[in-house]
Structure 1
Amino acid sequence: MCLCVYGTGYQQANVIMLPKNLADDFEEFCCKNPAPLPLLYRSQSGEASCPPLAKHADIRTDIPQYCAYEDGHLVKTVSSLQSYRTHLWSDMVCFYQGCSFGFEGRLKNAGVPVRNVEQGVNVSMYRTTVPCVPAGVFRCLLVVTMRPIPAGMLNAAVKITHLNPLAHGAPIHIGDPAFLGIRDLSRPDYGDIVKLQPGDIPVFWACGVTAIEAILSSKPSLAFSHSPGCMFLTDIPVPPFSESVDPPTSNPNLQMIPLCFRVSNNPLLYSLASQGVVEKIRQLEKIIQEDPGERGIRALFVQDELLLSVPLDNGSISVHCCLCFPFSPPEETDGPPGAFAMATILLSLGKQVTMVMDKRALGMNKDIIAEAVQKGVLKTEIQLVTFESSDPNSALRFLCHDGDPNKPRYDHLVAIERSGRAEDGNHYNMKGVNIKHLVDPIDDLFIAAKNIPGISTTGIGDGGNELGMGKVKEKVKFATLWFICLYPLFCSAPSPAGVSNWGGYAVACGLYLLHTCPSHQRYLKKGLGIEPTTTQEQLQDWTENLPSVTKEESILSTLVRFEIRSGKTGHLAMEVDGLTFYPTHSDIITRLREVTLGCTTPNP
């Protein structure tokens, strides 16, 4: 018995029927795009039954409504395919694919509202601007379904659907639909309008209607599909909610279940990473919270700020790092090593990186980077630029092509150990000395970025007076002596650390973890792609470009050779903020690597 019903307790299937000469290409297309097209069964030519899915089925009559296509055009909808001549049917191959209706009952049982069912309408389906991976004659844009989910229930929805890979699996996008090329949620391409309730977040799953788009673009002489919303009902029960959602803790797959976290408010954007990776990033965060300098920095921490600082790769083209904190003497050994560590791993991951610094330090930093490349610590030179404000629109022109806020040049700004502007317009170091004369107006870039959709910001600091720490201003007032330095400006993700370099190291390690996380990479790739594309050579390269004791010692020795001193003591020595490289900094680096790589590893 097969019909279209919501929440039946049985697996439902999308159905596509194609001439046999296209069947191999379409099967490859399904394999390359597993999220929208999870393949349950491929029939033999002319086979109307599907024994693995349903007994006594006849695919020609068991769907409430079919769509018939000729040369890539929808010509009619029919309630049966029996009228088609036998010799035509004998040439057809039927593909049965998993359907998202299979998880709606689980969502409801978990207390997650299913708005389309509540509103008595079909789910909303949208054609995106995301191209599927082509195969043979098949190439098209991804189609997605949208279900509004209350913000507090996102993790439950992600977990439930992740455990249903044959029903499209976990979401492929959460938040602003513009990232998928969807301009208006009130105008779905298929299905009905589903209204968001207050507090709802739009959540998008890959959709089997992608196969219909493949038919329209490949233009087969004859093809059939289910009508959107009219599925084939199999005899396979959906596993009970408790069995699929609450696996025992001994289950090794538990660590692979994704967790959802917000990475941006403007635009609204979430990301996913496996529970195991999130736990590792939280361990990194605990390590950099240590405070051997006894500054009281631990009081500034908010859990998961590091997690919010790490996803610099959600569609990123470039990452903009601000480095070199002015001191008296002007430069110090905290800041540049952490910035170089982030830049190095980003370049290894294929990102473009630009570093912004004060004009007076440009020549010196070029020489420092050149020496680091010569020593083999950096694989390549990093682009260095300066920013000077000549008018109120200078920052906008710097950040955006043609000064157009709809065309951002960068995706993320990172400030590390960068003095933040005080409420009186000056810049102060931790001793309360005004250093405004040493500082270019790089703050203006972060102020402008707040109003540019698509640019997020991170501030890494260790005292409370750094750019971005305004988000924890009240904590700084009670925890430190430097609250006079703070300006209301804050970053999307402030990342306090016992030493700012440690924050840079932790971000670099977190980037490595996300790039080796299958759940995160599936989310970034929208569930498209036949298999993980990371090669052993890439993995080795990423590992080699992580911070290491040897590399960081070499960078610090270069800074000392250029007469850059420890910030707290002013010593021209192998120390940062009054803490000697051995054993303090070397120990932190070793522990960060051990968490990242999952074992005790040598520090090349």
Structure 2
Amino acid sequence: MLSSFLLRSCLPSAIRSLPKKARIRNMSSMPGGLQPASVVVLPRSLAPAFESFCQANHGPLPLLGQSEPDKWMLPHLGAVVDMRTICPQFQKYEFGTCTGILASLEKYSEQLKDMVAFLLDCSFSLDGALEQAGLPRRQPAGPSYTGAYKTTVPCATIAGFCCPLVVTMRPIPKDKLERLLEATCSSGGKQGQPIHIGDPELLGIKALSKPDYGDYLECQPEDIPVFWPSPLTSLEAVISYKAPLVFTSAPGCTVMIDLKDTISPSSCLTSEMVPEVHAISKDPLHYSIVSASAVQKIRELESMIAIDPGNRGIRHLLCKDELLLAALSLSHARSVLVTTGFPTHFNQEPPEETDGPPGAIALASFLHTLGKKVSMVVDRRALNLHTKFVEDAVEQGVLKTPIPILTYQGGSVEDARAFLCKDGDPKSPRFDHLVAIERAGRAADGNYYNMRKMNIKHLVDPIDDIFLAAQKIPGISSTGVGDGGNELGTGKVKEAVKKYIRNGDVIACDVGADFAVIAGVSNWGGYALACALYILNSCEVHGRYLRKAIGPSRIPREQSWTQALPSVTKEEKMLGILVQHRVRSGVSGILGMEVDGLPFHSVHAEMIQKLLGVTTVCM
């Protein structure tokens, strides 16, 4: 950085005669009542559009105020500031190209009469938050300011202003992430919350060592890269618009203003806003954040569905926060593949049971409402049956739109990879999350067993291969939902299944998933995942993280989300559809309104009501 001595010697005398409240420094922050801001000066005709652009992308472009043409002062900022001279260094842009570096704009006074100056808040100090968290401050590799990166994340486009988000990065030791999050939230409010934690390629950043602005901060082996939105996004907006004449403060240069009459960012450390960080993927490395209150609600859901009405011993299979982690991963997913189908009644036609399809369709319905692409893969022999389920569900209002139904009968790793990826290329997966809900899972001996230890392999296609192939393809996560340990994905807890579940040494599924959601009835796991997604997407902390602090907030929650949740009415209709197609209860084999031997109206309806009670209460 330039020293204050160099700044004083390089700037014109007009700056030194400014009121004492408006001081000039070439640094990101300083103590006292002064606050740094960056400057963008645009033609008056573009001012309304640029103001709207900043408001639509508040994360990287927090607008403090703007001048009036030919007056060149910003009211209510605690100082009368002459914007022609206040910035230590300006950049001049003509038609999107930087054509000059200027110490002042005094010689452009005539042009400035028809221009408007915007101030963007640069007050949040990452270095200050690091110090508060007890983390050492690291210096960039070069003599400049800490690096910033252009991403492939598009900002919300407004009236011709269209550009990628620019972010800044700090390497943080893995075991200090929670402490950092608390410190940044405490000192910077919403502005202090990061928008990405983990692999930079998820933002389209190919090389951290080559920032687009400034100098690289080196990551140590134990570090996690953490990213925040940067006001340098304004430079990309200026470049993309290609206006005839624009002035901006140079990267790394800010104007110091006195904001004693304004409200400083408040701490977000309330039960609704305090963030928690959770790892949701190792390859690629990816963390998500969510409020503590949302986490608590999802844990309530997990506890509710973990009751054991069949006395199978499933409490021994439970792993804390699997529902939370699965829902977080699904919340970030764009394209989801759902599978279901457990042909336990091998002497009946059809051999399917009533547990599985209702939960799968309930989850698919909510994922679709969130704007995610959803498909379902089933056994080929059951393709027509599941197609009828979906058609009837749409006709009766359980689903708004049909779900594409796929089949898979391949028997090799290459077949599974070809199914999952475009042209079989692992760098181009068609899906980024797989979900199995009450899907027959392959045991260690290669067979498929129901709870009574009967082999049903002749009725089951090797959809397990898709889950196994996904484990070796970066960017695809998986979830298995089960209630007995013989379901696809519950291989994650197979040792507990072998030890505590009757016939577990034979029936235990050998194919695991990243997340294993255990429920007393598998349908409940599907309902709970939909409810957890509702909670996450109604959480302001998580919502901001999902949209990278750009674009409009979806809070308050959209009415369509509430309508897409499972309900007693919709699930009663869905179960009626299955019974109409002669699908039977899994435990009793009864053709009627029951699942796993439990009557719908007294047991399952009550569970749905309890889940909704936790889900829809005000956050």
Please give the TM-score of this superposition, normalised by the length of structure 1: 0.90
Q: Give CA-to-partner distance per residue, 1:389-434, whole Å, 9 cap, x none.
A: 1543111111111111111111211101122222222222222222
1:54 Cα deviation after fit: 4.8
Match of 1:86 among 69, 92, 109: 109
CA distance in 2, matches of 1:461, 1:593: 21
Counterpart mapping for 1:285-304 below 5 A: 285-304=302-321
1:258 Cα deviation after fit: 3.1
Is structure 2 residue 166 aligned with structure 1 residue 143?
A: yes
CA distance in 2, matches of 1:453, 1:521: 24
Unaligned runs of 5+ in 1: 248-252, 600-604
Q: Give CA-to-partner distance per residue, 1:224-268, whole Å, 9 cap, x none.
A: 222212222233479999x95585xxxxx5313333222222212
CA distance in 1, matches of 2:97, 2:161: 15
Give the stretch that moved more between structures: 230-239 or 320-329: 230-239
Give the stretch that moved more between structures: 322-331 or 451-460: 322-331
Contact 2:498 2:508 in 1 (8 A): no
Counterpart mapping for 1:239-258 below 5 A: 245=267, 247=269, 253-258=270-275
Equivalenced residues, count: 589
Match of 2:396 among 352, 360, 375: 375
Match of 1:307 among 317, 324, 344: 324
- Is the alpha carbon distance of 1:378 and 1:70 closer, same or farther for their aligned partners in structure 2, counting shifts above 3 Å? closer
Contact 1:99 1:168 in 2 (8 A): no
The letter for the 1-side match of 2:614 is V
Give the stretch that moved more between structures: 143-152 or 515-524: 515-524
Match of 1:19 among 19, 33, 43: 43
Counterpart mapping for 1:280-429 below 5 A: 280-311=297-328, 314=331, 316-329=333-346, 330-429=351-450
Match of 1:53 among 60, 77, 97: 77
- Is the alpha carbon distance of 1:21 and 1:325 closer, same or farther for their aligned partners in structure 2, counting shifts above 3 Å? same
Q: Give CA-to-partner distance per residue, 1:208-234, whole Å, 9 cap, x none.
A: 111111121222333222221222223
Contact 2:302 2:528 in 1 (8 A): yes
Contact 1:102 1:167 in 2 (8 A): no
Aligned match of 1:250: none
Is structure 2 residue 229 aligned with structure 1 residue 206?
A: yes
Aligned-partner SS, 2:528: helix
Match of 1:130 among 150, 153, 156: 153
Aligned match of 2:545: 523
Aligned-partner SS, 1:353: strand
CA distance in 2, matches of 1:236, 1:226: 19
Is structure 2 residue 122 aligned with structure 1 residue 96?
A: no
Contact 1:72 1:218 in 2 (8 A): yes
Aligned match of 1:70: 94
Match of 2:578 among 548, 556, 559: 559
Q: Give CA-to-partner distance per residue, 1:273-303, whole Å, 9 cap, x none.
A: 3333222211111111111222221222222
Unaligned runs of 5+ in 2: 1-22
Match of 2:516 among 494, 509, 518: 494
Aligned-partner SS, 2:413: coil
Aligned match of 2:203: 180
Give the stretch that moved more between structures: 310-319 or 205-214: 310-319
CA distance in 2, matches of 1:293, 1:390: 35
Aligned-partner SS, 2:392: helix
The letter for the 2-side match of 1:94 is A
Aligned-partner SS, 1:272: strand
CA distance in 1, matches of 2:40, 2:262: 25
Q: CA RMSD in A?
A: 2.9
Is structure 2 residue 476 aligned with structure 1 residue 452?
A: no
Aligned match of 2:57: 33
Contact 1:2 1:57 in 2 (8 A): no
1:48 Cα deviation after fit: 4.8
The letter for the 1-side match of 2:358 is P
Contact 1:353 1:383 in 2 (8 A): yes
1:175 Cα deviation after fit: 1.6
CA distance in 1, matches of 2:263, 2:553: 29
Aligned-partner SS, 1:149: strand
Aligned match of 1:269: 286
CA distance in 1, matches of 2:263, 2:61: 24
The letter for the 1-side match of 2:576 is S
Match of 2:593 among 574, 580, 596: 574
- Is the alpha carbon distance of 1:71 and 1:562 closer, same or farther for their aligned partners in structure 2, counting shifts above 3 Å? closer
CA distance in 2, matches of 1:501, 1:587: 13
1:545 Cα deviation after fit: 2.3
- Percent identity between matched residues is 47
CA distance in 2, matches of 1:297, 1:120: 59
Please give the TM-score of this superposition, normalised by the length of structure 2: 0.88
